[in-house]
Amino acid sequence: MTATKPLDNAPSAEASIIDGKAFAEILRKNVAVGARAFRETRGRAPGLAVVLVGSDPASQVYVKTKMKKALESGIDSFPHLLESDTSETELLNLIDKLNNDRYVHGILVQLPLPAHIDESKVIAAINPPKMSTASIRSMWVCSARGKPN
């Protein structure tokens, strides 16, 4: 009996190059259709709370872009721009308030957070149905760093 290498039986797949901008445009259009349907059935737009702690220039650009794209897609955007000396308790209180806000359907907490705030604790405080995909990716980053989520 001959031993086989683990990859000998793996299905082959061809790599393909995708047009990221075109894909993003299709995705935005689909989100806009969903937002319009949400507005028609519930009488209001879905809402995204965006939380930024501190003044990191790259994070500011990212957050500004996310809020702009949300508005273009028919999603209300609620910015929460906090000073870098905001305490962990203050941030967790804000997350609790957003979790209970009926106009907020998604919460995006921009990482990295200042060193005195435990990122994994903040992410874990977000009510799972309100967790944005960006926050889910952040959980993976925390896991990769060895931080519990």
Q: In this predicted model, what pLDDT tens digit does every residue of 39-66 receive, in sequence order?
A: 999 999 999 999 999 999 999 999 999 9
User: pLDDT category, 15, cuts 50, 70, 90?
Assistant: confident
Identify the pLDDT of residue 72: 92
C-beta separation of 102 from 44 below 8 A = no
pLDDT tens digits for 88-146?
999 999 999 999 999 999 999 998 999 999 999 999 999 998 987 555 444 444 444 45
Q: Which of 4-13, 65-74, 127-136, 139-148 has the lowest mean pLDDT?
A: 139-148
Q: Which CATH class is domain 20-144?
A: alpha beta
Phi, psi (degrees; rounded to nearest 5) at 80: -130, 95
Per domain, the residue ranges of the chain are 20-144
For residue 119, the one-letter residue type is E
Q: What predicted TM-score, i.e. pTM, was given to this entire model?
A: 0.76
What is the enclosing helix (H) or strand (E) of 49?
A: strand 47-53
Instruction: Kindly list the catalytic residues.
Output: 59, 66, 110
